[in-house]
Structure 1
Amino acid sequence: MSSNPISLTSRLSEARWIAGLLFVLSCFLWIDQERLSVFVVPAPLPVHTFLETVTIVIFASVFIVCWNAFGEVRKKSSVILAVAFLCTAILGFFHTLTFQGMPGFEAAGDMHKSMSFWLISRSIIATTLLGLAFDPEDSEISQMQSYGVLSAGLLATLGWGILVFAFPNLIPLTFIQGAGQTSFKVACETSLIAAHVLAAVLFYRHALRFQIDKSAEHLHIDRVPLFLATVLMAMSEVYFSIYAETSDVNVVIGHTFLLFSAIAIYRSMVALNIHTPYASLAASTNNLAKSAEELKLERQRLSRMIDTAIDGIITVDDKQEIILVNPAAALIFGYDVNELVGTSLNRLIPARHRETHKSHVQQFGEAGITRRKMGTHFEDFYVTGCRASGEEFPIEASIAHQLENGKRYYTVIFRDITDRKVAKEKMAKYHEQLSQLSATLQSIREEERKHIARELHDDLGQLLAALRMDLSLLQRDPSFLERNKPTINSMDQLILTAITTLRRIATDLRPRALDEGGLFFALQTLQRDFSHRHRINCELIADEDQLILDDARSTAIFRIIQESLTNVARHAEASDVQIEFQRSHTELKLNINDNGKGIVEEDMGKTSSFGLVGMRERIKAMDGEFQVLSTPGEGTTLEIRLPLAD
């Protein structure tokens, strides 16, 4: 159906004029049958046979093209129309075979059979066209379903043929030689005329509606010629209902109208169905052209992106020959783009890394992985580039591969990380220096604490002890004691408190037990003092043999446990603490567990958490590992692993 409203209006107007003129002309012929009877067909059988044969051929053509219009997945309307016109063509052949009697058949009997086949075939056409005129929703049916409809139609046609040939009297008499049409035949023709007129009105209304709304069309059929076809078929049925002899010219006129109607049906049903795939092909061609243009624009856009990228991009084939390189890559290596295209990738790789790089790329292509990173660690020294000047530099890159026409291509996107590597090495050096400085400060601090603790204990402690001894001598003088007893007792208590405080401070600075009894004895003292001072149950699980270590490690472990217990007392709100040591030939493992409220994860990384920072620095100085495991509400565990020399 034309999508142009002006063309559709013009064709509909032409069809209306043709139908009107033929109807007016036919009215004169129907009325003036006496004048028309002058014309007689001298040899009716060849003429009727020729006209019927042409009609059958057209109907068979309708079947062939409708059946193949949509390929394997057919439209329901196309299948029904194809089967209907195939059955009509077969029944038309039976009608021609029996028309006016054939050899081996009685003439009157043959004419009745011929008219029976005629009525059945025309009823199929009228029913199909009327059903189509009601504009049903179209849908797709499978190949199996379409062949099922075809088989059913052929079986029905075969059944009608057997019925008419074997039992002709089952159908009322349709024609009497010399008398013409029977009342039954005229009634059937009248019903067919009414069906065709109704279909013509509906098709005309469809054509008018589709001028405005093309989307309302359900079936791919042009309604304008179909309207004309139903009008012509209705007029042909009038001619077939009024003739009295087979030589009557009405039969020829009716056949002529029927032939033109068949041509119109072919035009409306078949021509458009042929056009549909070609229209789809044209649309596909347009889409292909559009896609090609879009692909061209996409390639241009991609080319611009590659050319303007600040990262280097290189594509090589399976022979490691460069087939694409962007300006950034050429600039990084110190070449021109044209110098690199077509050359080997080995040109950009240091000689000592070429074999390693080749094997890595080959393994990557065979591993089934399409992309991965390279050179993200500075230890991947094989990912090293070589500039045109011979200078080597580190590269961070990602590589991807794809198969095209059986050949494998590799694309590398990379960047020069020389500045980043230099900065990383400087940062690592600064960090190492800071770690050494921290260890030195810890050592100096510990030595200073030891010195201060010794001075307090040996010098100030002895002075306080001597002062108390002098006070004891004064207490032996009865006269002096009687007058100053309250003062002397107060002085004695203050001196005793000062001595106790001095010992505690000296112990916090540097416990003498660590120097005199070792780490195990010092930890036992720390455990008792902690439990007594904070009323928190503290358990030490260790053997003295496990804690025989050098002075530096003993001091560091003591300070770590001391800091941990301080944190428990200040923040954990715990009631139990457990300190457990496990020692092997290669490492010493220390776990400190409490049942407190735990540490929030955000607090572990705070720069103000000097206790944890100090622990990490001490453990790092001993090349150990430190981990904090904490669940809010369930307590905290410190896991420490220290390597031991064999």
Structure 2
Amino acid sequence: MEEIFSNENQVIQVVLIGVLMLLLMGSALLIFFFLSRKKIVEKELEKKSLEITHQREMISSIIVTQEKERKRIAQDLHDDISSKLNVINLNANLLKDGELKPEEYLLVNDTILEATDKTLESARKIAHNLLPPILDKFGLKDALEELADSFNNSRKIKIEYILNYPKDFLSSQSELHMFRIVQELINNSIRHGKAKNSSINIEIINKNLRFTYIDNGKGFNQNNLDHQKGLGMKNIESRVSLLNGNYQIKSQKDKGFKIIITIINPS
């Protein structure tokens, strides 16, 4: 009898130990699951935080660029338009007074005509910078050709271009973004890179637009994130993002600059 009770106690002990082990294993699994889930949530939150920070940086760069453009336009209006209109106004008042000799009358009249011509030219220049008429009328290809030719004629930089771009491949708004990107890249090449030569290439590969820009300027260290994230590059990055595209940069100090922008199947 004692032997039976002893065996039953052993069985009970084994069962209790087994149940306890299962509880411990279950608790361990629950803790492991909880910690794993916590890490996943933390990583997701970190990723979202980085995305929000990145978006804020892009929005900030767009705002800064817009403010810079507004200041430039205001300065152009003040320097080029206002000053010339003042000249016209002063000379018009001289005519109004009517106390001029014939030769003085002709001189004042010529001054007004000359100032008017210069004012119209300045107004056309400002309007062209805001939205190039050729871009609106004929599209991106012709606008980029005109832009490159104007720099070639100025001899600030020599630009070669191959533009295999189908008309209306991008929307008019997207074409404007691409045009501004090219403007920014050329200006960066001249101002910062001190480049003498550059090239622009556009091609359509598997319904994707690939844009390549290369210059022979000073270049920079790609590991220097501060250099890569200057205002000009932030502006370009913002526009590429608006185009639902991506970009790659290759550059080394004293070995030029290269950027490849890919716009995935915009149609």
TM-score category (smaller protein): 0.5 to 0.7
Equivalent runs, 1:540-551 vs 2, <5 Å: 540-545=161-166, 548-551=169-172
Amino acid at match of 1:563: E
Cross-structure match for 2:52: 430
Paired residues of 2:246 and 2:262 also in contact (CA < 8 A): yes
Equivalent runs, 1:321-470 vs 2, <5 Å: 342-343=21-22, 347=26, 386-387=30-31, 393=34, 395=36, 416-417=38-39, 420-421=42-43, 423-424=45-46, 426-428=48-50, 430-431=52-53, 434=56, 437=59
Paired residues of 2:222 and 2:228 also in contact (CA < 8 A): no
Equivalent runs, 1:63-212 vs 2, <5 Å: none
Q: Report how many aligned residue pairs link the two structures.
A: 232
Rate the CA distance shift 1:644–1:438 in 2: closer, same or farther, 3 A.
Answer: farther
Q: Percent identity?
A: 24
In structure 1, distance between residues paired with 2:256 and 2:153? 21
The answer to whether 1:618 aligns with 2:234 is no
Rate the CA distance shift 1:343–1:513 in 2: closer, same or farther, 3 A.
Answer: same
Deviations 1:161-182 (A, max 9, x none): xxxxxxxxxxxxxxxxxxxxxx
Shift of 1:621: 2.7
Provide the secondary structure at the position in 1 that maps to 2:166: helix
Rate the CA distance shift 1:425–1:574 in 2: closer, same or farther, 3 A.
Answer: closer
Provide the secondary structure at the position in 2 that maps to 1:596: coil
Deviations 1:237-271 (A, max 9, x none): xxxxxxxxxxxxxxxxxxxxxxxxxxxxxxxxxxx
Deviations 1:367-390 (A, max 9, x none): xxxxxxxxxxxxxxxxxx6349xx
Equivalent runs, 1:484-633 vs 2, <5 Å: 484-545=105-166, 548-601=169-222, 604-606=225-227, 609-633=230-254
Paired residues of 1:511 and 1:522 also in contact (CA < 8 A): yes
Shift of 1:426: 4.7
Paired residues of 1:626 and 1:639 also in contact (CA < 8 A): yes
Cross-structure match for 2:9: none
Rate the CA distance shift 1:584–1:505 in 2: closer, same or farther, 3 A.
Answer: same
Rate the CA distance shift 1:421–1:495 in 2: closer, same or farther, 3 A.
Answer: same
In structure 2, distance between residues paired with 1:425 and 1:544? 36
Normalising by the residue count of structure 2, what TM-score does the alignment of the two structures yield? 0.68
Structure with higher RCO (Cα < 8 A, 6+ apart):
2
In structure 2, distance between residues paired with 1:340 and 1:576? 79
In structure 2, distance between residues paired with 1:571 and 1:429? 29
Equivalent runs, 1:278-317 vs 2, <5 Å: none
Amino acid at match of 2:36: I
Amino acid at match of 2:206: H
Rate the CA distance shift 1:519–1:597 in 2: closer, same or farther, 3 A.
Answer: same
Deviations 1:100-119 (A, max 9, x none): xxxxxxxxxxxxxxxxxxxx
Q: Larger Rg: 1 or 2?
A: 1
In structure 2, distance between residues paired with 1:348 and 1:518? 67
Paired residues of 2:58 and 2:235 also in contact (CA < 8 A): no
Rate the CA distance shift 1:517–1:340 in 2: closer, same or farther, 3 A.
Answer: farther
In structure 2, distance between residues paired with 1:583 and 1:513? 22
Amino acid at match of 1:386: L
Shift of 1:425: 5.3
Deviations 1:204-234 (A, max 9, x none): xxxxxxxxxxxxxxxxxxxxxxxxxxxxxxx
Shift of 1:644: 1.4
Amino acid at match of 2:147: L
Normalising by the residue count of structure 1, what TM-score does the alignment of the two structures yield? 0.31
Paired residues of 1:578 and 1:593 also in contact (CA < 8 A): yes
Rate the CA distance shift 1:435–1:608 in 2: closer, same or farther, 3 A.
Answer: closer
| Structure 2: gaps spanning 5 or more residues | 1-16
Provide the secondary structure at the position in 2 that maps to 1:386: helix
| Structure 1: gaps spanning 5 or more residues | 1-337, 350-384, 397-415
Paired residues of 2:61 and 2:234 also in contact (CA < 8 A): no
Cross-structure match for 1:239: none
Cross-structure match for 2:12: none
RMSD: 4.3
Shift of 1:422: 6.2
Provide the secondary structure at the position in 2 that maps to 1:583: strand
Rate the CA distance shift 1:584–1:557 in 2: closer, same or farther, 3 A.
Answer: same
Paired residues of 1:481 and 1:488 also in contact (CA < 8 A): no
In structure 2, distance between residues paired with 1:345 and 1:533? 80
Cross-structure match for 1:104: none
Rate the CA distance shift 1:565–1:440 in 2: closer, same or farther, 3 A.
Answer: closer
Amino acid at match of 1:427: S
Amino acid at match of 1:424: E
Provide the secondary structure at the position in 2 that maps to 1:601: coil
Shift of 1:427: 0.7
